[in-house]
Amino acid sequence: MIAGAAGVAAAALICLDPGHGTPPATGQQVEPIGPGSKVMKIKDGGGAAGEAAVALAIAKRTRALLLARGYRVAMTRTGPRTQLGNGNGNIARARFCNRRHAALMVRIHADGSTNRSQHGVSTLVPAWHRGWTDDIYRPSLAAGRAIQTAVVSATGAADRGVVKRSDLTGFNWANVPAVLVETGYLSNPTEARRLKTAAYQQRIAAGLVGGVSAFAALPTKRNR
């Protein structure tokens, strides 16, 4: 962190959003995928088996590392269930981070596939959409690239790249840069075993923090 001309800058706030954990009855409700949209999407299908717990464990480790580096951290949930109000869905997750003027929203998930051999890490970023993501498109992409590189390097996992997504409610309602990291495949037996260990979760967390730091160090003109 570098002090600005006006004095010591406030430490950047990173908003961590561990995926899933929505109370089941709420998760089945729908909400518009973007402001003013008629396209409705389920709030939370629950994710892959075991995903909510893995995402939370990684988020807590990431929080500890970020705090140690001097960042401020907010989390959309710190226990098994979200309690956000505001409909308690993905709009609420985005608004939680918007309200806090987060420097970055980091959504933490794990993947699932019917193809059990599929494995590796990918980072999702908002596709460009006028009025929804035009303001956060560039910094989100920059953050996504930095985080994908850092997590792949920290874990040695297969690099599945950065993927632009237009259909994620939590992106389309975000007014702060946002990324979603798919930290590995719980449907792949080898990767699932790793994802459930403290050591591998810690490596992912270290990668996330490395990516956040690299993003925070980018010149403002390039990332905003």
SS3 content of the chain, % helix, strand, coil (to 5): 40, 20, 40
Considering the complex, what minimum distance in angstroms separates the CB of residue 109 from Zn ion? 3
Look up residue 92 and give its two tokens. 């609420």
109 lies in the site for Zn ion, by CB under 5 A: yes
Relative orientation angle of helices 198-216 and 51-68, to the nearest 10 degrees:
50
Could you tell me the smallest distance in angstroms from the CB atom of residue 112 to Zn ion?
A: 8
Please tell me whether residue 89 binds Zn ion under the rule CB under 5 A: no
DSSP string of 158-183, one letter each residue = -EEEEEEES--HHHHT-SS-EEEEEE
Mark the segment that binds Zn ion (CB under 5 A) among 28-36, 80-88, 107-115, 155-163.
107-115
Between 173 and 185, whose beta carbon lies closer to Zn ion? 185
Q: Is 47 in the site for Zn ion (CB under 5 A)?
A: yes
State in angstroms the smallest separation of the CB of 40 from Zn ion: 19
Q: Which residue in 12, 16, 18, 19 binds Zn ion (CB under 5 A)?
A: 19
| Both structure tokens of 134 | 């035009």
Least CB distance to Zn ion at residue 32 (A):
20
Pick the closer one to Zn ion by CB: 172 or 223.
172
Separation CA 222–CA 224 (nearest Å):
6
How near is the Cβ of 183 to Zn ion at its closest, in Å? 10
Residue 32's DSSP bridge partners are 40
Identity of the amino acid at 36 = G
List of residues contacting Zn ion (CB under 5 A): 19, 47, 109
